[in-house]
Amino acid sequence: MSRSALSLALAATVAATAANAQTVVRDGSEIAFTTRQMGVPVDGRFTQWQAQMRFDPKNPATGSVSFTIDTGSASFGASETDAEVKKPEWFYVVKFPRASFTSTGIQATGPGRYAVAGQLTIKGKAQPLTVPVQLAGDTASGSFAIKRLAFDIGSGDWADTSMVADEVQVRFKLKLAGLPK
């Protein structure tokens, strides 16, 4: 292949990738979670996170998704609880300031529905995860469950699941700009 043909092919690949990149619109987007303390649901959310997406609904296998969440931004709306989750027994924010998810594959599972497989890393512990996603218009949403103890979240005295449930429901709603029609 000639140098000019190689340059043209590379430029076309970069242009196609850029054309399929989306921007997550912060206004109207959220990442939230629900845990249970002594059987009572307790809601929280992350206020600081970044997302990178490249997705074409007509060709989902070529897409990619990655998230970085600032663990210190976990908020329950109560200052005492918000300070507690930053401690080593919970998110250990000083040592592990970020959690991340990086996709390894995307599959269509039905009209407007996708399974995004990837790796979730929290407190330096990585676990495979498949996230069901529904795409409606310019909004991607979904929910999934994680086991907090698999990531050493709530260790020590907090490992007792009769006090704080092991399962945490995570839900998200992302407003997207630049999604192909």
Rounded to the nearest 5 degrees, what angle is found at the Cα of 26, between the Cα atoms of 22 and 27? 125
Those residues whose C-beta lies under 8 Å from the C-beta of residue 167, and which sit 6 or more positions away, are 35, 36, 145, 146, 147, 148
Cβ atoms of residues 144 and 129 within 8 Å: yes
Q: What is the pTM of this model?
A: 0.85
For 37-86, how does the pLDDT look when each residue is reduced to its tens digit (9 = 90+)? Answer: 999 999 999 999 999 999 888 899 999 999 999 999 999 999 999 999 99
For 140-176, how does the pLDDT look when each residue is reduced to its tens digit (9 = 90+)? Answer: 999 999 999 999 999 998 999 999 999 999 999 999 9
Helix (H) or strand (E) segment spanning residue 42: strand 40-46
Question: Structural domains in the chain?
Answer: 22-177 (2.40.128.110)
